[in-house]
């Protein structure tokens, strides 16, 4: 199995970066290798990935998701197998570090050759750089999913209180 790890610093708050990342359907707008993403269930997506003449469709299960912290996944197909995690760490009120780790098993001569030439590493790096440009140019997320997933199961959603509410203290 091969491994990729890439890190990038982004000039938006961690909440903004995380919320936009969870908008999987927007990935084709900044990741050239991602051709299409369909959300099948809250924890299952279908990705169409391609570079050059190679195209792969893969169902992916989100196995762990913690708002503003991480999204971890694994492929549901036997081949090509892959798993990964993206983590988010605040570097300050307007800066976020994103780390992407992917482990994959190439299938066939074409994918093995692409791996030997470093194509998957360049695709991940390029996708992160374009995500940075995309979210920094927007300045805010286009949406977000704040639910949590643990061991592949969607956890009960606990909405956050509105930010404009100030607790009222009893008087008297």
More confident residue, 80 or 171: 80
Task: Output the DSSP codes for 27-86.
Answer: GGGT-TTEEEEEEEETTEEEEEEEETTEEEEEEEEEEEEETTTEEEEEESSSSS-EEEEE
Q: Beta strands 34-41 and 54-66: pairing type?
A: unpaired
Q: In this structure, what are the phi and psi dihedrals at residue 129, rounded to the nearest 5 degrees?
A: -65, -40
Lowest-confidence pick of 7-11, 79-83, 144-148: 79-83
pLDDT confidence band for 88 (50 / 70 / 90): very high
Q: From residue 37, how far is each of 40, 65, 93, 137, 165 by CA, in Å?
A: 9, 18, 31, 22, 36
Confidence of residue 109 (pLDDT cuts 50, 70, 90): low
| pLDDT tens for each residue of 16-64 | 999 999 999 999 999 988 999 999 998 999 999 887 777 888 899 999 9
Any idea where the domains of the chain sit in the sequence?
2-22+61-145
Mean pLDDT of the chain: 83
In whole angstroms, give the CA distance from residue 23 to residue 27.
Answer: 8
pTM for the structure as a whole: 0.81
**Are the CB atoms for 47 and 37 separated by under 8 Å?**
yes
Query: What's the mean pLDDT in 131-152?
Result: 88
Could you tell me the fold of the domain covering 2-22+61-145? Answer: Alpha-D-Glucose-1,6-Bisphosphate; Chain A, domain 4 (3.30.530)
């Amino acid at each position: 199995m091969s491994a990729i790890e890439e890190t990038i610093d982004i000039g938006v708050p961690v909440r903004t970066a995380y919320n936009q990342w969870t908008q999987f359907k927007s990935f084709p707008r900044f990741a050239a290798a991602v051709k299409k993403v369909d959300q099948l269930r809250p924890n299952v997506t279908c990705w169409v990935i391609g570079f050059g003449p190679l195209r792969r469709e893969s169902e992916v299960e989100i196995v762990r998701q913690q708002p503003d912290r991480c999204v971890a996944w694994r492929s549901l197909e036997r081949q090509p197998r892959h798993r990964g995690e993206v983590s988010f760490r605040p570097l300050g009120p307007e800066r976020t570090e994103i780390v992407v780790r992917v482990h994959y098993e190439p299938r066939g001569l074409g994918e093995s050759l692409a791996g030997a030439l470093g194509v998957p590493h360049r695709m991940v790096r390029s996708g992160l750089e374009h995500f940075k440009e995309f979210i920094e140019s927007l300045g805010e997320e286009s949406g977000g999913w704040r639910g949590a997933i643990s061991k592949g199961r969607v956890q009960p959603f606990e909405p956050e209180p509105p930010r404009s509410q100030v607790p009222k203290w009893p008087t008297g």
